[in-house]
Homo-oligomer: A and B are copies of this chain.
Amino acid sequence: MTYSEENYIKVIYHLSLVSPKGINTNAIAGMIESKASSVTDMLKKLADKELVNYQKYQGVTLTQKGLHAAKMIVRKHRLWEVFLVEKLDFTWDEVHDLAEELEHIKSEKLINRLDEYLGFPKEDPHGDPIPDRYGQLVKVDKQLLSEILPSKKVICLGVKDSSPSFLKYLDKHQIALGSEIEVVNKESFDHSLSILINNRQILISNKIASNLYVKLI
């Protein structure tokens, strides 16, 4: 598999988690920052290699083989992110782009050794699950903070958006994975939230709240 093929497979995988039916050409083009015609070309190639099920105009799904390949790329991406944060002291907003490169290094042995070296982590620095060497992953039950009712207490488990700007916002407000948050009030007009975190009460917008994964304590 080429670098480019791997990126397509990974994007189709991520889109499949959100909408389990056939994935649109345009959705893929959007994620990969290319044009629909380029996507069509690639889908034919991936179908030839039996990595995707593709029929003209009908969208695309991963085959078993494609799904496994995708999980292995995600595994590599997330293990490298853990390495960068845990061992090389990178911050959680710095690692994604680097992992985009590192995820294409082709060696099962390397990634399994890295996994072992890191102590077989189950989650990456953004709270996303890391598939094991067989593609198995632990699905933790999480909700978006925006869905939590007032007076409930939650613990922060992960982020939906892992862009540097969002992560830096969280750092600034001292919201980290593991933080305890109490929803004090929900504003019905704009769906903003008053939350209690680290004994301080702060106001966050709905956009923030709908990008934070939490679970009830």
Q: How many residues of A contact B (CB 8 A)?
A: 17
Cβ distance A96 to chain B, nearest Cβ, rounded Å: 12
Q: Which A residues, 87 to 141, have Cβ-Cβ distances below 8 Å to chain B?
A: 87-90, 94, 98, 101-102, 105-107, 109-110, 113-114, 117
What are 18 pairs between A and B in contact, CB < 8 Å?
A84-B110, A87-B117, A88-B110, A88-B113, A88-B114, A88-B117, A89-B113, A90-B109, A90-B113, A94-B109, A98-B105, A98-B107, A98-B110, A101-B105, A101-B106, A101-B107, A102-B105, A105-B105
Cβ distance A142 to chain B, nearest Cβ, rounded Å: 30
CB neighbours of A105 from chain B (8 A): 98, 101-102, 105
Cβ distance A105 to chain B, nearest Cβ, rounded Å: 5
Please name the residue on chain B nearest to A84 by beta carbon. Answer: B110
Q: Which A residues, 69 to 96, have Cβ-Cβ distances below 8 Å to chain B?
A: 84, 87-90, 94
Give A residues with C-beta under 8 Å from B. 84, 87-90, 94, 98, 101-102, 105-107, 109-110, 113-114, 117
Q: Complex formed: what's the CA distance from A101 to B89 in Å? A: 23
Q: Complex formed: what's the CA distance from A81 to B84 in Å? A: 17
Cβ distance A182 to chain B, nearest Cβ, rounded Å: 37
CB neighbours of A94 from chain B (8 A): 109
Q: Complex formed: what's the CA distance from A10 to B171 in Å? A: 41
Question: What are the 5 closest A-B residue pairs judged by CB atoms, nearest first?
Answer: A88-B113, A101-B105, A98-B107, A88-B117, A98-B110
CB neighbours of A110 from chain B (8 A): 84, 88, 98
Q: Complex formed: what's the CA distance from A94 to B108 in Å? A: 13
Cβ distance A159 to chain B, nearest Cβ, rounded Å: 22
CB neighbours of A113 from chain B (8 A): 88-90
Taking A89-B113, A98-B105, A105-B105 as given, write out 15 further A-B residue pairs in contact, using a Cβ cutoff of 8 Å, ordered by the A residue number. A84-B110, A87-B117, A88-B110, A88-B113, A88-B114, A88-B117, A90-B109, A90-B113, A94-B109, A98-B107, A98-B110, A101-B105, A101-B106, A101-B107, A102-B105
Q: Complex formed: what's the CA distance from A59 to B153 in Å? A: 71
Cβ distance A117 to chain B, nearest Cβ, rounded Å: 6
